[in-house]
Amino acid sequence: MAVLTGAGISAESGVPTFRGDGGLWKDYKAEDLATPEAFVKDPRLVWEWYNWRRELISKALPNAAHKALVQLEIRKREYTLITQNVDGLHDRAGSGRMLKLHGDIWRMRCTVCGANWPDRRAPLPKIPPHCACGGLARPGVVWFGEPLPDGMMKEAEHAAGAAEVFLVIGTAAVVYPAASLVPYAKQGGAKVIEINTDDTPFTNQVDCALRGPAGELLPRLV
Ligand code: BV8
Ligand code: ZN
């Protein structure tokens, strides 16, 4: 079994989704801020956004959907969680092995020496933060236009391709290459079940589209 989650699974924890109503921040769109160009142009603005998100996420709790996946992991020998989320709520719910396709908002990376470390302070005492070497630090996430961490997609494709059941939860399935895991699982012979409050480009291709909030539907499904 393999599971792909997106921002929608954290919506009921109070974390705004990317493309939903809460997805905007001040008058910026996520796509305009989550890019290397935006960071080079104005690291302080990008860090203001991440600082705001870190603070908001630090007050959020994993919801029943995150917890239902932990139950699934305990029960299923073959289980891989693949997440596009950077909020760390799967970790806090108790999920074990997971593939974080887009990185982790609670990690930082130095733009000079490449050091990579965890930092859970919310809010940050000073933005933009710096590395011990003095270099400018960036959030440990994958921005638009950046490649996913080495080997991550290969592992995710292996899990999706081998899965008998592939759950797609709370993702608009518009960001690539993550979204390509849905047709990939289908081609591998998986039964694909989508849990979403709305339609997605794959709704008419999945075996079962459950319409509603993950916090309600996933515990019942599990
Ligand atoms: C890459 C980390 C190549 C940052 C994120 C044109 C121009 C430029 C680029 C492209 C282009 N066309 C395609 C691309 C590629 C681009 C892309 O896909 N763009 C999209 C927008 C078209 N992809 C990339 O750039 C990727 N890299 O391709 O590199 C490369 C290769 C080699 C060398 C160099 C380069 C990198 C993509 C990663 C971007 N980083 N996040 C951060 O978070 O700060 S993506 C971001 O979107 C988040 O990770 C988020 O999870 C992800 C996907 O969004 P969703 O999770 O689906 O969330 P969304 O808000 O959209 O939807 C929420 C869903 O939940 C909805 O369906 C809603 O109905 C549902 N929902 C709401 N509430 C509930 C619910 N469901 C259930 N229950 C509820 N309660
Ligand atoms: Zn450094």
CATH value at residue 168: 3.40.50.1220
**Domains in the chain: how many in total?**
1
Please write the tens of the pLDDT for every residue from 94-133.
999 899 999 999 999 999 999 999 999 999 999 999 999 9
Looking at the CA of 113, name the nearest ligand: 2
Q: Which residues, in sequence order, are CB contacts of 100 under 8 Å at separation 6+?
A: 83, 85, 86, 149, 152
Please write the tens of the pLDDT for every residue from 127-171.
999 999 999 999 999 999 999 999 999 999 999 999 999 999 999
Looking at the CA of 108, name the nearest ligand: 2
Please write the tens of the pLDDT for every residue from 21-61.
666 576 788 888 999 999 999 999 999 999 999 999 999 99
Please write the tens of the pLDDT for every residue from 197-217.
999 999 999 999 999 999 999
- Give residue for tokens 């339609």: 199
What confidence score (pLDDT) does residue 18 get?
83
- Alpha carbon nearest to ligand 1 atom 40, residue: 143
Q: Which residue has the higher pLDDT, 19 or 79?
A: 79
Catalytically annotated residues: 102
What confidence score (pLDDT) does residue 21 get?
66
Q: Quote the CA–CA distance of 18 and 81 in Å, as a whole number.
A: 20
Nearest ligand 1 atom, CA 50: 44
**What does the DSSP 8-state code read for residue 158?**
H
Compute, in angstroms, the gap from residue 112 CA to the centroid of ligand 2: 5
Residue 171 sits in which domain range?
2-221
